[in-house]
Amino acid sequence: MIHALTKTTLALALMAALPGATSIAGPNAPRVTAPTVIDLQDPIKFSFTGGTASELFGQLSKAYPDFPVVLGQKAKKFEVAGFEARITEPGTIVDLVCGVEGILLGSDALDRATRGMLDYRNVNNELVSITFEPVGFSSQRLAVRVLSIQELLTSGMKIEEIMGTVSAGITLQGENQIGQPAVVRFHQETGVLFSKGSKASNEMIAQTIEALTASAKWRVSPEAIAAKEA
């Protein structure tokens, strides 16, 4: 996810001057130290007292004017609880408030409030689009996720091990999930894994691949080799 970052740049220039000197030109000119540029990413204290998502991201855009976020019409009216945080990039706030259930206010007193949550997606790695998803809709909507497992295969882990672990996770999750289980396909030539399922299923599969990657790295670590030889 690409986030616009606000950074503070400090330039320090030191120049020695001879008393009474009228010019610094020539071979006897005092030595001038080149400016030292320090690129810092200082955290800021961000405080939100509570209100709509429109108010939250309006306040956030004042702290980070270049943050490329687009709010859907329904998402603008979503109620967000107050919080305080120290952040170095605005994407932290997106991760904080998206996926948390809350209330979407009706347009007038006659409209019923709708429970749901904010969700986001990246658009061409340039924009962060935030939408409102009613409860039960986002979790059941099917999507395709693409994962690379080439690193696992290169490490020596067999595809049977990888698919077996992923399958075990899908089976276990299916015991507590309504709807069709995720479908997984492997493209051998490129080492790419495709998963089609709910958002929760795809996330579980991605976490499984991350765990397997950590396991593969441990297998070839000096500690693991020493333990086998002991």
Reported as a single tens digit per residue, the pLDDT across 174-219 is 655 555 678 899 998 889 999 888 777 888 898 899 899 888 888 7
- Strand partners of residue 37: 11
Q: What is the pLDDT of residue 162?
A: 94
Per the domain annotation, does 149 fall within a domain? Answer: yes
Per the domain annotation, does 160 fall within a domain? Answer: yes
Per the domain annotation, does 197 fall within a domain? Answer: yes
Per the domain annotation, does 125 fall within a domain? Answer: no
Helices (H), the chain: 53-63, 73-76, 91-97, 150-154, 159-174, 199-219, 222-229
Residue 55 has pLDDT above 90, yes or no: yes
Q: What is the pLDDT of residue 54?
A: 93
Give me the mean pLDDT over the 122-135 stretch.
Answer: 81
Q: Which positions ≥6 away from 129 have C-beta within 8 Å? A: 69, 70, 72, 120, 121, 122, 123
Residue 164 has pLDDT above 90, yes or no: yes
Residue 69 has pLDDT above 50, yes or no: yes
Domains identified in the chain, total number = 1
**Cβ(99)–Cβ(75) under 8 Å?**
no
Closest CA to 96 of 118, 115, 114: 118
Q: Which of 39-43, 46-50, 93-97 reaches the highest mean pLDDT?
A: 46-50
Per the domain annotation, does 146 fall within a domain? Answer: yes
| Confidence at 136, pLDDT banded by 50, 70, 90 | low
Per the domain annotation, does 44 fall within a domain? Answer: no
Q: Which helix (H) or strand (E) holds 10?
A: strand 8-12
Per the domain annotation, does 188 fall within a domain? Answer: yes
The alpha carbon of 30 is separated from its chain's Cα centroid by a whole number of angstroms, namely 50
What is the dihedral sign for C-alpha 70, 76, 80, 84? positive
Give me the mean pLDDT over the 12-29 stretch.
Answer: 35
Give me the mean pLDDT over the 129-156 stretch.
Answer: 79
Q: What is the mean pLDDT of the chain?
A: 75
Closest CA to 94 of 75, 123, 120: 120
Q: What is the pLDDT of residue 41?
A: 60
Q: Which of 5-9, 15-19, 94-98, 218-222 reaches the highest mean pLDDT?
A: 94-98
Per the domain annotation, does 133 fall within a domain? Answer: no
Residue 163 has pLDDT above 90, yes or no: yes
| Residue-range definition of the domain harbouring residue 208 | 142-230
